[in-house]
Each structure stands twice: as C-alpha cells, then as structure tokens.
Amino acid sequence: MMDDVLSADVIKKGLKTRFIGQRVLYYPSVDSTMEVARQEARRGAAEGTVIATDEQTGGRGRLKRTWLTPVGNIALSVVLYPKLSYLPSLIMLASLAVVHSIESATGLRPQIKWPNDVLINGKKVCGILIENDVQGNGVNYSIMGIGINANLRLADFPEIQTTATSLSDELGREISRLNVILHLLGEIERYYLAISAGESIYEEWRDKLVTPGKKVRVTAGETTYEGIAESVTRDGSLLLRGTDGSLTRIVAGDVTLRE
C-alpha cells in the first residue's frame, strides 16, 4: 500500500477552495459519513463542512442499498445549504465533479449513467447519494455523499467484480486518494458557485451521459419500464420511449443498460 494517509489537516492544507472543505472532520472508521454530516447540518455546521473516512461500516447508496467502503476507498459527505431552485442541479454537480476529478487525477475517462452512477469502461466506479431536508419553500440542508472505488482490489470482492471497477484496477497501480479528494472538493465548489451565479450545468451533464439512445430497463418504485432512453430534461428527468411508442418521464429510478 502506497503512503496515502488521510487526516483533516492534510486535506485542508492542500485545498485552494473558499468554503468547501475549510472545515473537515476525519474519522479512521465510521458507520456512515452521511449520518455524521446530517447531525452536523442539524447543528448548523458551516456550509462546505466535509466528513471523510477511511472506512464505512454502514455505508449506503441509492435505494437503501449497501455501499461497500473498505479501507483504501474514498468516502466523504459535504454539508450544503442550497436554495430550493438548486436541488435538481445537485446530482448533475456531484457527478460532473467526480468525472473531472478522476480525469484530472488519473487521466481515465469516466462517463455517467443516469442519474448519477459514474462508470469506467461500463463498470461502476463511484456512487453518489444526495439527501435534501426540505421544509415548505426552503431547504434546511442538503448532504452530498460520494463514494469512489479508489484502491479497491476487485479480485477480493467477487460478488461485485462483474459490475464494479476501481481506479487502481483500471490503472494497474495504486493512486493517491488525497490527490483525487483535493480535485473533487475543488470541482464541487466550482460547480456550486456556477449554479449559485445562475449558470446552467445541464448541457455538460447531458453530454457526459452514456444512457441516451440505449435500450434500458428502469425500476422506479414498484414499477419497471423498458424501452429506449430518448433524452433527459433540464430538471434531470429521463424520457423513456416505450416499446408501444409512448413517452414516459421518470424523475428518479434505477437504470440497467441492456444489450
């Protein structure tokens, strides 16, 4: 294992951000960074507070799935206080930030599977979970959780070997998690400031998607749809053309790409 020791001080020291990561809480092991971030947000933590860990023992992904975070991976959550109008952009922001940070740190070329799975060579390398606490027309807080398979040896986890990959497996060598994290937090701030200034990141997100034009199966709640992923709307919804020619707008769901 390369020398890649993380700490709050080492993360903050390398950052050049205004507010994202200016406060970092680091834990060698924690049940879930999302849970810690939620507690911090309820206490009024400064915007941009980052919770980072080497290992999550109870990490979860979208749809309440377990997210594997052994030592060597990247797991962090960021506390934000966005306007209500920003919420549809947060998934776009997070996935674009991950894509660019991986590109900058490794030279790999990730793509996004709707809505926010980051893939390399068709396999999942990153999971993103956005949790919003909305009250009336206001947002109490948003938590952006990101888990990246960094130095994960897939041969040790045969149960996910056919669907997942890691940065180290793709490169054939271990990588600096710190380098990826510094790029990631910088990209999160850049995009967050952009949407705060009224800029659209929809087109860039849309163009990174691998889903449009593909045959897909979409599970949304108790309903399953099949058809062609036709396009995405500006609020991030998927437009699915069914086998009967009907067009369905899907706000949230789980997509399986079909051959």
Is residue 29's pLDDT more than 80?
yes
Cα→Cα distances 211→78, 109, 113, Å = 27, 16, 6
The half-sphere exposure of 218 on its side-chain side, counting CA atoms within 13 A, is 27
DSSP 14: H
The residue range of the domain holding 248 is 211-258
Report residue 34 CA to chain centroid gap: 12
Residue-wise pLDDT for 141-194, tens only, equals 999 999 999 998 888 888 888 899 999 999 999 999 999 999 999 999 999 999
At residue 238, the pLDDT reads 94
Does one domain contain both 85 and 169?
yes
Angle at the Cα of 77 (from 91 to 195), degrees rounded to 5? 40
Instruction: Work out how many domains the chain is built from and give that number.
Output: 2
Residue-wise pLDDT for 196-228, tens only, equals 999 999 999 999 999 999 999 998 888 899 999
Does one domain contain both 240 and 112?
no
What's the start-to-end Cα distance of the chain, in Å?
A: 38
Cα→Cα distances 176→109, 122, 214, Å = 17, 23, 34
At residue 159, the pLDDT reads 86
Does one domain contain both 83 and 180?
yes
Does one domain contain both 96 and 50?
yes
Kindly indicate the confidence band of residue 59, based on its pLDDT and cuts at 50, 70 and 90.
low
Does one domain contain both 190 and 244?
no
- What the block records as the tokens of 83 is 């306007």
Does one domain contain both 215 and 122?
no
Kindly indicate the confidence band of residue 1, based on its pLDDT and cuts at 50, 70 and 90.
very low
**Rounded to whole angstroms, how far apart are CA atoms 132 and 140?**
8
At residue 115, the pLDDT reads 87
At residue 2, the pLDDT reads 53
Does one domain contain both 116 and 174?
yes
Does one domain contain both 147 and 31?
yes
Whole-structure pTM value: 0.92
The enclosing domain of 76 has a CATH number of 3.30.930.10
- What the block records as the tokens of 207 is 């163009």
Kindly indicate the confidence band of residue 243, based on its pLDDT and cuts at 50, 70 and 90.
confident
Does one domain contain both 167 and 181?
yes
At residue 104, the pLDDT reads 97
**Rg of the chain, C-alpha, whole Å:** 18
**Cβ contacts of 186 within 8 Å, gap of 6 or more:** 15, 16, 17, 20, 101
Nearest to 32 by CA among 48, 46, 52, 50: 52
Does one domain contain both 147 and 193?
yes
Q: At what angle do helices 87-106 and 177-196 cross, to 10 degrees?
A: 140
At residue 67, the pLDDT reads 53
At residue 252, the pLDDT reads 83
* Residue 56 is assigned to a structural domain of this protein: yes
Does one domain contain both 176 and 254?
no
* Residue 2 is assigned to a structural domain of this protein: no
Query: Where would I find the beta strands (DSSP E) of the chain?
Result: 24-27, 50-53, 74-80, 111-113, 117-120, 123-135, 138-148, 215-220, 223-232, 238-242, 247-250, 254-258
Does one domain contain both 168 and 83?
yes
Peptide bond into 110 cis (omega under 30): no
Residue-wise pLDDT for 86-136, tens only, equals 999 999 999 999 999 999 999 999 999 998 899 999 999 999 999 999 998
